[in-house]
Chain A
Amino acid sequence: MSRVSGSKEPMLPNRMLSKMMLTPRPMVSLVAALLLFFSTQVVPAGEAKLALTGGTVMTVSGESIAGGVVLIEDGIITAVGTAETEIPYDAMEVDCTGMILAPGFVDPHSSDGLDIPNENLPSAPFVDVFDALDPSRFFFEDSLRNGVTSIHVMQGNNCVVGGVSRIVHPIGLTPHEMSRQAGVALKLSTSPRRGYGRMRQLAELREVFEEYDRWRENLAESRYEQEADKEDDDDSDTLPPEESRSQGQELIRDEDLDDQHRHLAHLIDGRLGAWIYCGSATDVAPALALVADRDWKDRAVLVLAGDAHLAIEEIKEAGIDVVLDSDLIHRKRDLLTGDVEETFIPDVYRRAGVRFAIQPSRSGAMPERFIGYQAARLVRSGITPAEALRIVTLGAAEICGIDDRYGSIEVGKIGNIVLWTGDPLDLNSWVQKVFVEGILAYDLEKDARLERLFPEEPEPEEAPAPLDDEGTSEEGQDAKPAEGTPEKTAGEAPADDGEPLEEKSSEKGEAPADKPVDPPKESSVAGGE
């Protein structure tokens, strides 16, 4: 040790850094802080201060506040409180009377935003979903419309070792703009890939890590030799390979990692999480064995599907978080009696006390594609609405390891807030507005696609405004909030923003069946102004 001490000194900061990174929490916050620092620069933070007033704030982390105020400054929530909360004079105030403010949903596991969800290569730890992110996907637009503000984009399940995932926002024109946190977790699978059997899958999975171990040994050896060569000191001695391998382990720097192994190294040294896909119950045991063997307990997540809930005892004992498949009901047919046994899967985990997240369906044709609907199904099985809402927001953020920034309306968290016309778990509620980092990212009134879906009603006395006109007025609105109109009040001002909102709130009492036709009507009124 002492022999190479001379060479160690320049490396010290690096080593400290990597030591810090060994523990996941500081690492996450560090990366987060860095990212935030950059993100505030990249995204033109038009609105400096935003005040959402008058709505019911479902904070998720604490009690709901009726008529509460949420202040967002530079994309960060700076205050959450009752109506008495002081609103800075220069804040743009958005009246949310009659609305419900909830944190944006967190989609814990999605490959929908990707160009192609799976790689052809069985083992591709070197890929990053960043390169396959397609900002123009309808999926992102739809996510926003359904109140999802953070998406953990991850490679599909059809792999042995997949690429690195990241957290993205569903807004932005380039992957850069969308990305919020790179390098969250690596996808692994213990379920056979298409065309594979279990034997081959597990053999190859083991092989990936054994190959990595050998590669790292060799790297350590050569690193040691490099360092030894550098020294002019006579003391520097060539060591037997065994020793140089163990001594060189500490000399490995980040830049020594090659592309093929970099992410694996990060996975093993703790910078990346391990998300392991288990498509059936029997695949759980090897996954847990891998986790125990490599000591990933605190950063492993099982992505489950099929009858994996049968292995609940094992999962419970391992104390590992799970992400459930969108198909929440498992049906098993008894060959002998022909009876079909139905299991509501989240119930199994809830009873066992295993923390779980749910994901929306990938098929566009089913109601399961709404996280809100999925959460509502949880309520049906006996979970309280508050708990169900927590599962799809803060709970999912915890499992993704981003609960320090996302998942609830709390001071210090990122201002991802969704304005609902009603309870977020009620299918009659609409997403009225979505603020992502304090920026209005979606407005129901300006949702062109919904407008086409629900064309204007013939009833209004005024002739329908031409589309062009409408468009321009909308654009104007889009641009305006940046400047901010602080003098606007909720009470009487017939300002462009206030009126539809008020109408909205008054309509809240109406029959829910009327809801779908509402937005166009409002927009037409707004257009007429």
Chain B
Amino acid sequence: MPLGRHRCEWIDDRWSLFPRGIPSDTLSARPTGRGEDLRCLGESSDEFRSWGPRWRPIPCDLAARGRWIDVDDWTAQEAQFNGPRGSTLMIHRGRQRFRLAGARVNLGSGDDCTAWVFFEPKDRRKLPKMKCNRLFSRGVSKRSAIQRGGHLQPLPRWLTLLLASLTMLLVWGHPGTVEAQFFERALVLEGVHIPGPDGRVLEDSNIVLRGGRIVELGPDSDAPMMSKKLKVKGLFATAGLTDLSSTLTLDDVRSSSAIHSAWDGFDRYDSQQILRTLASGVTRIHLIPMGPGGIVGRVSSLSLGSRDEGGYGILHSEDVALCIDLSSGTPLERIRTYEKVRGALKSALNRRETVDDYTSDLEEYIEDLVEAAKKKAEEKDEEKDEKKGEKEKGEKEKGEKEEEGPKKPDRPERDPAAEILLQVLDHELPVMITARRSADLQNAIDLIEEFQLSAILRGADEAHLVLEGLAELEKVSLLLEVPRLSLTRGAGPRRDPHLIAQLDEEGISWAVGSGGESTSLWRSIQQLSGQLSTASPLPLALAQGAQGPFGGWLRRGATEVVLWEGNPAEDPLARPNRVIINGTVVWQRPSGTREGSF
């Protein structure tokens, strides 16, 4: 269940998503500078040492099993999954090397599992520096060390000396770098109120951001020296909202293919649209490709932060899911689309056979080659012993050899679309099937059953009619969109008002997306919470993004902060005042004459 409703764990003493005993700091490795080196704030474990300097394991979020974990800032190289079920941990890297280094880890759904993400520093020589940073990072690692058992290992003397001299050199040579690395000015949001999941509000708290991430928050945390202070007294701070179903700035195209990626269609410089979305409190979106029915393209997830080089949008993952649309067009077209998708998946299966055959043939062929080479060498030795044989004989032998020679297998043709479908069939990439009416949902269920897909059903308005079918499926979650009720008859699929209650009853996980217009996400969720009669829409809204170290409740390590004018947990008319992503105020409610704009 890669995408599901998710219960945040509220730990009293620390604002952390992680269960006690595992310091959240171990996760807050981040590149300082432009992805150059990595700063690891956590305590290194024994396992780490055994892995040698090349691979560094990072204990991942244990609570996040069955969900997505984002490790975008690390250059994840390999992963291993030590779960009791022995299942594998899957990492999708971006298909294009020229993209930002990013990876997304799905921990599957094991029970008490330990997951390790191994990443390789770009430069091995930077490793000592990583330890060095641990000392410099203000008390954070100390606390985490205490949490783990209270010992902070001193560095070897020679290393300390070396580091000191290096630091001196660095200070002398690149004062700017040093400042950015060690004395980077923290951003402090003073006097904000932080609503918590239990309905409590931490009043008059400070939030300290360093390097774009929250390092401290709470009423007792004080501002470090020389920090930039933002006058935001009295505002309410929450994490940014995540829209799981957005089509922000995408143009409606008349073609669709598995090799399409929604990220390609994102317009980084459409600031008007993006700012409107930010103004509604949404900081992270899953971009759903648009197109005619069938296999539409891949879903990307991105943060709407501003890029250093201009424009907006920081890519997070390009391979969130493969989007299949079974719901567009006339009923007849929809049936055809279903058949087409089914055909494509089948031919992908065929292709896997071909590829597997080729791989095994190739192995055999190489073995044969090696053997043949050995044989030849022996023969040659023999020949040498015998003296050089007549030419005829040699030719004869050669002819024989050619006959005997192993046959090279034919390499299968390239088929990038089928490769992506194979990823889907191997559960490396979930599918997002758009289906709204019961017939389409039935088709989707058939597809999922036939090919054993791990699927997200998007739309699913008439899910109440196929509830039994859905309940039987193992790996499925629903991505609901709040429908626009219309009085016109036959205007679209009918959503049962009690659908969510029924889903909960059946244990089907669900989440909410805006269905394209990200600006409406907050209002949609408010509306939904009214239907559910929950006390506050905020937990529901934040749960949308609570997959991995981002989103969820505000806590250390978070990069996205929304400051509201009222308490969004209680005041239905609360609206965002500022949006801070990666330490930059990306949107601010215009004051004075410009008031009244988005």
Contact = CB atoms under 8 A, between A and B. Distances in A.
Interface in A173-221: 192, 195-203, 206-207, 210-211, 214, 218
Interface string B361-382: 0100110010011001000100
Nearest to A311: B310
Interface in A204-241: 206-207, 210-211, 214, 218, 234, 237-241
A7 B53 CA distance: 45
Contacts of A281: 268-269, 310-311
A313 interface: yes
B330 interface: no
B369 A202 contact: no
Given A197-B253, A199-B289, A282-B268, A218 B380 contact: no
A239 B365 CA distance: 10
Nearest to A229: B402
Contact of B255 (A200, A240, A286): A200
Contacts of B98: 289-290, 292-293
Interface residues of A, number: 42
A118 interface: no
B416 A199 contact: no
Interface string B252-283: 11110101111011111110100000000000
Interface string A279-316: 01110011001101100000000000001001111100
A365 interface: no
A306 B406 CA distance: 59
A292 B309 CA distance: 16
B411 interface: yes
A256 B469 CA distance: 57
A336 B598 contact: yes
B597 interface: yes
A207 B261 contact: no
Nearest to B413: A214
A199 B366 CA distance: 40
B597 A313 contact: no
A514 B269 CA distance: 49
Q: From A198, A292, A310, A334, name the one whose CB has the most chain B CB atoms within 10 angstroms.
A: A198
Contact of A293 (B97, B250, B311, B372): B97
A196 B255 contact: yes
Contacts of A292: 98
A334 B594 CA distance: 12
Contacts of A201: 264
B408 interface: yes
B259 A203 contact: yes
B264 A240 contact: no
Contacts of A238: 369, 372, 405-406, 408
A234 B394 CA distance: 9
A200 B253 contact: yes
A290 B96 CA distance: 10
Given A240-B369, A289-B96, A197 B251 contact: yes
A203 B257 contact: yes
A422 to B, nearest CB: 41
A335 interface: yes
B99 interface: yes
Nearest to B259: A203
A239 B251 CA distance: 49
Interface in B289-338: 289, 291, 297, 308-311
A311 to B, nearest CB: 6
Contacts of A282: 266-270, 311
Contact of B96 (A206, A241, A280, A334): A206
B254 A195 contact: yes
Contact of B269 (A207, A239, A240, A311): A311
Given A199-B253, A311-B310, A280 B269 contact: yes
A197 B97 contact: no
A198 B264 contact: yes
B99 A289 contact: yes
A337 B408 CA distance: 69
Interface string A306-331: 01001111100100000000000000
Contacts of A202: 261, 264
Nearest to B253: A197
B314 to A, nearest CB: 12
A119 B224 CA distance: 62
The main secondary structure of chain A at its interface with chain B is helix
B414 interface: yes
Interface residues of B, number: 49
A241 B408 contact: yes
B310 A314 contact: yes
B269 A310 contact: yes
The main secondary structure of chain B at its interface with chain A is loop
B267 A280 contact: yes
A66 to B, nearest CB: 46
A487 B555 CA distance: 92
A293 to B, nearest CB: 4
B267 to A, nearest CB: 4
Nearest to A195: B254
Contacts of B309: 311, 313-314, 317
Given A200-B253, A311-B310, A286 B369 contact: no
B297 A240 contact: no
B250 to A, nearest CB: 8
Contacts of A237: 369, 373, 376
A310 B310 contact: yes
Interface in B474-516: none
Contacts of A286: 264
Nearest to A335: B272
Contact of B414 (A196, A210, A311): A210
Contact of B265 (A197, A211, A312): A197
Nearest to A290: B98
Interface string B224-267: 00000000000000000000000000111111010111101111
Contacts of B376: 234, 237
A206 B263 CA distance: 14
Contacts of A280: 267, 269
B361 to A, nearest CB: 11
Contacts of B268: 281-282, 285
B555 to A, nearest CB: 32
Nearest to B251: A197
A27 B278 CA distance: 51
Contacts of A239: 369
Contacts of B251: 192, 197-198
Contacts of B270: 282
Given A197-B251, A198-B265, A240 B597 contact: no
Interface string B96-119: 111100000000000000000000
Interface in B71-126: 96-99
B259 A311 contact: no
Contact of B416 (A198, A207, A337): A207
A482 to B, nearest CB: 56
A203 B598 contact: no
Contact of B597 (A207, A293, A336): A336
Contacts of B414: 210-211, 214
Given A210-B414, A292-B98, A335-B272, A203 B260 contact: yes
Nearest to A306: B269
Nearest to A221: B411
Interface in B403-448: 405-406, 408, 411, 414, 416
7 closest residue pairs by CB, A with B: A197-B253, A281-B269, A293-B98, A199-B260, A289-B98, A202-B264, A199-B265
Given A203-B259, A241-B362, A313-B310, 14 more contacts: A195-B254, A197-B253, A199-B291, A200-B257, A201-B264, A211-B414, A238-B405, A240-B365, A240-B366, A240-B369, A280-B269, A281-B311, A282-B269, A290-B98
11 contacts: A199-B253, A202-B261, A203-B259, A238-B372, A239-B369, A241-B411, A281-B310, A282-B270, A289-B99, A293-B97, A307-B269
Interface of A: 192, 195-203, 206-207, 210-211, 214, 218, 234, 237-241, 280-282, 285-286, 289-290, 292-293, 307, 310-314, 317, 334-337
